[in-house]
Structure 1
Amino acid sequence: MTRPTRTPIGLRLAASARVVSRAFDDALAEAGGSAPIWQILISIKSRQLGNQRQLAEAVGIQGATLTHHLNAMEANGLLTRRRDPANRRVHVVELTEEGERLFHRLREVVMAFDGRLRAELDEGRIEVFEQVLAQLEKNVRSGDDVA
Structure 2
Amino acid sequence: MPIGRQLASTAKEVSRAFGEALADAGGSEHVWLILLALKTRENANQRALAAAVGIQGATLTHHLNGMEESGLVRRRRDPRNRRIQVVELTAEGDAAFHRMRAAAVAFDERLRGDLSDDDLECVGAVLARLRANVARES
Q: CA RMSD in A?
A: 1.1
Deviation at 1:48, TM superposition (A): 2.8
Deviation at 1:10, TM superposition (A): 0.8
Q: Which residue of 2 aligns with 1:113?
A: 107
CA–CA distance in structure 1, aligned partners of residues 53 and 46 of structure 2: 10
Alignment of 1:48-127 (within 5 A): 48-127=42-121
- Counting matched residue pairs gives 138
Deviations along 1:36-55, one digit per CA (max 9) or x if unpaired, are: 00000000001132111111
Structure 1-normalised TM-score? 0.90
Q: State the SS of the aligned residue for 1:47.
A: coil
Q: Which residue of 2 aligns with 1:4?
A: none
Q: State the SS of the aligned residue for 1:130.
A: helix
For the pair shown, which has the larger CA radius of gyration, 1 or 2? 1
Q: Which residue of 1 aligns with 2:137?
A: 145
Per mean C-alpha deviation after superposition, the further-off stretch among 116-125 and 102-111 is 116-125
Unaligned runs of 5+ in 2: none
Find 2:17's aligned residue among 4, 8, 23: 23
Q: Which residue of 1 aligns with 2:125?
A: 131
CA–CA distance in structure 1, aligned partners of residues 53 and 78 of structure 2: 21
CA–CA distance in structure 2, aligned partners of residues 131 and 93 of structure 1: 37
Deviation at 1:109, TM superposition (A): 0.1
Report the identity percentage. Answer: 57
Instruction: Kindly provide the amino acid, as one letter, of the partner of residue 67 in structure 1.
Output: T
Unaligned runs of 5+ in 1: 1-6
Structure 2-normalised TM-score? 0.96
Larger RCO, structure (CA 8 Å, separation 6 or more): 2
Deviation >3 Å, runs of 4+: none
